Amino acid sequence: MDGYAGNMVSVDLSAGTVAITPTPLELKREYLGGRGFGIRLLTDLVDPQTEPLSEKNTVIFAAGPLTGTGIPLGSRYEVTTISPLTGTASSANSGGVFGWKMKKAGFDAVIVTGRAEKPVYLLLDNGKAELRDAAHLWGKTTGETTDAIVNELGDKTVRVSCIGPSGEKLVRFACIINEKARAAGRAGMGAVLGFKNLKAIAARGDLAIQAADEERLDLVKERVRTKIQENGIEKALHDYGTAVLVNIINENYVLPTRNFQTAYFPNAESISGETIAKTILKRPKGCYACIVQCGRVHEFDGEAGEGPEYEPDWAFGPDCGIDDLKAVVRANNICNEYGLDAISAPATIACLMEMAEKGYVDHPIRFGDAAGMLALVRQIATREGIGDELAEGSYRFAEKYGHPELSMSSKKQELPAYDPRGIQGYGLATATSVRGGDHVYGYMISPEVLGAPEKLDPFVTEGKAQWVKTFQDLTAAIDASGMCLFTSFALDAQDYADLIAATTGMPIDTTELLRIGERIWNLQKLFNIKRGFGRSDDTLPARLLSEPLQEGAPAGQVWRRDEMLDEYYALRGWDAEGTPAREKLRELGLA
């Protein structure tokens, strides 16, 4: 079987040891890689009652069989652990170059257990692995850390995945940054590394990544390349980045504004992808093997960086009532430097803004205060002043002051940039997401707003449960494969199955592909059930279920949970409480 580096490395930080073992064949066949490897290894190694910030929690970095093979947009890797923000078994996905380099260094996965006495970093180097002292890196930003390791090793081909000061300070939504601007962004992965005193993983190497059938793979590559290049959404992503969605979502009156109090922002154009392209964009940028290049390299007023993506553009912008593009970009850059989730950080600030305006918290911040917002981002990143409380996330903050209903989150993770009241299937997908508030574990925006693969009525609940299940299972498989989720705008399940079959030599078809995704989803769900999650957690903030939207086509709409949840559970083979039935577990080989 090919497409894999062939080995995994287990790192025991408490003992200061590393052990290299072959990647198990069964793991490849049943879970592919990436998110699949992560959730299987997590459930094998960790007691479900483990505290996220403890020596007993485990972190898994894993690439997929398609990562680094030269397949268009085949660049992704996944980080999996128990989230300190939500308490769920969670994963976070990132692109860039690091995933490819991890495989070129000889490893499909890195399994991190224990806790180091002092800061360390892990070097993966052409089939070898070693822990190195990182005391001199502690306190440095992600960019400073990356430069310091590259200079220390004297090798510009090295790629670094690391935490910033926010991870060190155990901010519950601290993230992991690779190549200074690509983020494994959600669920607080950076805080877990910070607790473990693991500052970074550096990877270098030139080991071969081979395909089982190169001739067949070349044919499939050409097919998918053509489909991606001819797809209108992919072209828009190249021209305007993911922030092309700002105007689209706003024109559909589902752009959450001022902490989801409304869903339309009059000044959306000022922070849109089109405006970014006209004013501050220096050039597009892509991850390894990317032919879309949705990344934005920006420059203005002597400052330079990457981004913002759509989500932080919205969260620092309309969700905080701010239309100052430069302030939004600066806030995004702070998140990259300090290692902060650029959705949870601004969404928590938006929560504070509403609470302050209503007199629930004594603080001068108000919606539209760009300078105040920027100051709060830094305070959160370093846990200074009120930032220490905000660093716990919007739910814990709002609950402390007696108003948890003003946290726009699900399972304590802040919601992304779409109002579920006007997109019913998306609401079901994010409410049932096994990692909490989410959009990429089942991107229902694609059919309900963008019309891919077909246009669905976003206000209708009928049939949405089946769509959500299919999208969630397919996304889990894509995350396991190492492909970018954005390929799903142009590709279908057959394309992914053909890519995997040609690369690995496994006889996989669309049925088996979706079964692998379903297996990953159910295993993640089972782990969460053992942690105490149930039906009552598969929901959204009360505001979204009881306060109708007031403007545009969705006026009068609320999110209609009760019309979809039972059908969704039944389609998944779960009981009325959302627990997988034994028959379903046997079918998936999980009994």
In the prediction, which pLDDT does 22 show? 98
Residues 147-185: tens digit of each pLDDT:
999 999 999 999 999 999 999 999 999 999 999 999 999
Residue 383 has pLDDT above 70, yes or no: yes
Confidence of residue 495 (pLDDT cuts 50, 70, 90): very high
| Rounded mean pLDDT, 19-31 | 97
Three-state SS at 439: coil
Round to whole Å and give the CA distance between 483 and 298: 26
**Average pLDDT of every residue of the chain:** 97
In the prediction, which pLDDT does 422 show? 98
Confidence of residue 591 (pLDDT cuts 50, 70, 90): confident
Round to whole Å and give the CA distance between 273 and 417: 15
Confidence of residue 47 (pLDDT cuts 50, 70, 90): very high
Residue 1 has pLDDT above 80, yes or no: no
Residues 366-381: tens digit of each pLDDT:
999 999 999 999 999 9
Residue 49 has pLDDT above 80, yes or no: yes
| Rounded mean pLDDT, 186-207 | 98
Domains of the chain, by residue range, sit at 7-204, 241-414, 420-489+509-587
Residue 390 has pLDDT above 80, yes or no: yes
The phi and psi torsions of 139 (rounded to 5 degrees) equal: 95, -15
Round to whole Å and give the CA distance between 443 and 465: 13
Fold for 420-489+509-587, please state it. 1.10.599
User: How does DSSP assign 149-173, residue by residue?
Assistant: HHHHHT-TT-EEEE--HHHHTT-TT
Residues 441-460: tens digit of each pLDDT:
999 999 999 999 999 999 99
Report yes or no: 187 and 413 within 8 Å, Cβ to Cβ. yes
Dihedral (CA of 422, 424, 426, 432) sign: positive
Query: Which tokens belong to 350?
Result: 């938006």
Round to whole Å and give the CA distance between 326 and 465: 40
Dihedral (CA of 104, 36, 464, 260) sign: negative
Fold for 7-204, please state it. Aldehyde Ferredoxin Oxidoreductase;  A, domain 1 (3.60.9)
Residue 140 has pLDDT above 80, yes or no: yes
Round to whole Å and give the CA distance between 115 and 195: 7
In the prediction, which pLDDT does 565 show? 98
* CA-wise closest residue to 547 among 252, 253, 251, 261: 261
Residues 204-228: tens digit of each pLDDT:
999 999 999 999 999 999 999 999 9
Query: For residue 136, what are the contacts with CB-CB under 8 A and spacing of at least 6?
Result: 148
* Residue type, position 350, single letter: A
Burial (0-12, 13-18, 19+ Cβ within 10 Å), 225: middle
For domain 241-414, give its CATH number from 3.40.980.10, 1.10.569.10, 2.30.40.10, 3.40.50.720.
1.10.569.10
| CA 372 to chain CA mean position, Å | 27
Beta strand pairing status for 409-410 and 413-414? antiparallel
pTM higher than 0.95 for the full model? yes
Round to whole Å and give the CA distance between 356 and 445: 32
Round to whole Å and give the CA distance between 48 and 527: 6
Query: For residue 511, what are the contacts with CB-CB under 8 A and spacing of at least 6?
Result: none
